[in-house]
Copies of this chain bind each other. A is one copy, B any other.
Amino acid sequence: MTAGTDSALTDTSRRCIVQKFGGSSVASAELIQRVARRIAATHAKRGRVVAVVSAMGDSTDELISLAHKVNPAPPSREMDQLLSTGETITAPLMAMALERLGVPAISLTGLQAGIRTSSVHRSARIVDIVPQRIIDELERGRVVVVAGFQGVDEALDITTLGRGGTDTTAVALAVELSAERCEIYTDVAGVYTADPRVEPRARLIPEIAYEEMLEFAAVGAKVMHPRAVEIGETYSMPIVVRSTFEDQPGTLICQHPAMEDRQKIRGIAHDSGVAKVILTRVPDRPGIAAAVFGAIGKAGINVDIIVQNVSHDGFTDLSFTIAEEDLSRSRPVLEEVAREVQAEQVVADTGIATVSVVGTAFLGTPGMFARIFDALSAQGINVEQITTSQIHVTVIIARDRVADAVRALHAEFELEHD
């Protein structure tokens, strides 16, 4: 992606704002009208607004369930043709709601918005944006409502961007249009030290660096997807995460937060939507892991945590986590891979979850690990597996202990205090 070359785009006084509204913000006609009023207010103040919208509420899940009724293993290319309609429905409804408020507006599909992607269905990457139509419509004074999550490949086949797709559309468009900032509107007030539904004492973080947000997002904080944060970081696009329905400043994600303390635990993230997959008794030859993860990656399935157990008698168990929602379509690929590497069998465990402690404090403070284990074991929570980076520690635990673990760790690091 390249920044626009039109000098009008870099004229600060005429820069646009990109606003993204997720599924829960547009789940009904009433909510769409509420969001339209918010967009109209920005339009009145600022003039140039691009709104990126998700599918209404659970409509994507309904389409998936319809697809599975006609075919338990639907081809990904057809799933994309189907699933893209979710966002394609929201966009014109939002444009209509804006028109009713007297705000000129036009909806665009991914294709019409010039969003070109790779051909990896269900998790395509944006390779280019041809924004001329958007620019033309903004010049005409219209709010441009773009259907998120979708694009087209070279053959004009519809693709979807996978998880975090609409966030990705929004940030990528903001970059391409040299927007002043990208605002992510959601059903929470911003980024918290833990999920407030799990830990009521969780505190809003006013500013956070891209790299910390990336870690947060990578380990399960649902508020934003890491792909979108990464694009923001690469192009230094300021991202604001805030509530759709409360007029609060939210969380600013940027390069150098004003009040940053580099020796802090930022917060606790958790993810109950993961499944553990184990390939049992794999012959322990060099290149086995590459073969397994190469094939899985080619199928467009993201692997999160990889654990290769100690080898016994020349065999090893290879276990890793994937999104639980990817499990059923991963099955045929995993079975195929298991045959190829002569694994004994494929076992899937959906009774697990991950809980992560995120923060730069891990740099050079080894005592931190002990605090995490002690806090969990005091609650009788067993740690099945563990992975770490320089800015996070993630543990795999039983899914039914997630809330207890989040609260224990939040208290341990005194995150309820600033």
Instruction: Identify the A interface with B (CB < 8 A).
Output: 29-30, 32-33, 36, 63, 66-67, 69-72, 74-75, 77-79, 81-82, 84-85, 88-89, 91-97, 99-100, 106-107, 109, 111-112, 156-158
Q: Is the CB of A92 within 8 A of B66?
A: no
Measured CB to CB, the nearest residue on chain B to A94 is: B70
Q: Is the CB of A100 within 8 A of B70?
A: yes
**10 sample A-B contacts, Cβ–Cβ < 8 Å, listed by A number:** A67-B92, A70-B96, A70-B100, A71-B99, A72-B100, A75-B96, A78-B93, A81-B107, A81-B109, A109-B158
Q: How many Å lie between the Cα of A79 and that of B107 in the bound state?
A: 10
- The answer to whether residues A93 and B75 also contact, given A85-B88, A88-B81, A88-B85 and a CB cut-off of 8 A, is no
- The answer to whether residues A97 and B112 also contact, given A88-B85, A106-B77 and a CB cut-off of 8 A, is no
- The answer to whether residues A97 and B70 also contact, given A79-B92, A111-B156, A112-B157 and a CB cut-off of 8 A, is yes
- The answer to whether residues A82 and B89 also contact, given A32-B70, A111-B156 and a CB cut-off of 8 A, is yes
Q: Is the CB of B74 within 8 A of A82?
A: no
- The answer to whether residues A93 and B107 also contact, given A85-B88, A88-B85 and a CB cut-off of 8 A, is no
Minimum CB–CB distance for A35 against chain B, Å: 10
Q: Is the CB of A81 within 8 A of B75?
A: no
- The answer to whether residues A93 and B111 also contact, given A88-B81, A88-B85, A99-B75 and a CB cut-off of 8 A, is no
Q: Is the CB of A95 within 8 A of B78?
A: yes
Q: Is the CB of B96 within 8 A of A91?
A: no
Minimum CB–CB distance for A40 against chain B, Å: 13
Q: Is the CB of A112 within 8 A of B156?
A: yes
Q: How many Å lie between the Cα of A109 and that of B112 in the bound state?
A: 14
Minimum CB–CB distance for A118 against chain B, Å: 18
A29: contacting residue among B70, B94, B106, CB under 8 A: B70
Q: Is the CB of A85 within 8 A of B78?
A: no
Minimum CB–CB distance for A54 against chain B, Å: 15
Minimum CB–CB distance for A117 against chain B, Å: 15
Q: Is the CB of B63 within 8 A of A78?
A: no
Most buried by B among A29, A63, A78: A78
Q: Is the CB of A63 within 8 A of B89?
A: yes
Question: Which residues of B sit under 8 angstroms from A94, Cβ to Cβ?
Answer: 70
Q: Is the CB of A100 within 8 A of B81?
A: no
Measured CB to CB, the nearest residue on chain B to A36 is: B70
Q: How many Å lie between the Cα of A158 and that of B71 in the bound state?
A: 29
Minimum CB–CB distance for A144 against chain B, Å: 12
Q: Is the CB of A67 within 8 A of B96?
A: yes
Question: Which residues of B sit under 8 angstroms from A111, Cβ to Cβ?
Answer: 111, 156
Question: Which residues of B sit under 8 angstroms from A96, Cβ to Cβ?
Answer: 67, 70-71, 74-75, 78-79, 82
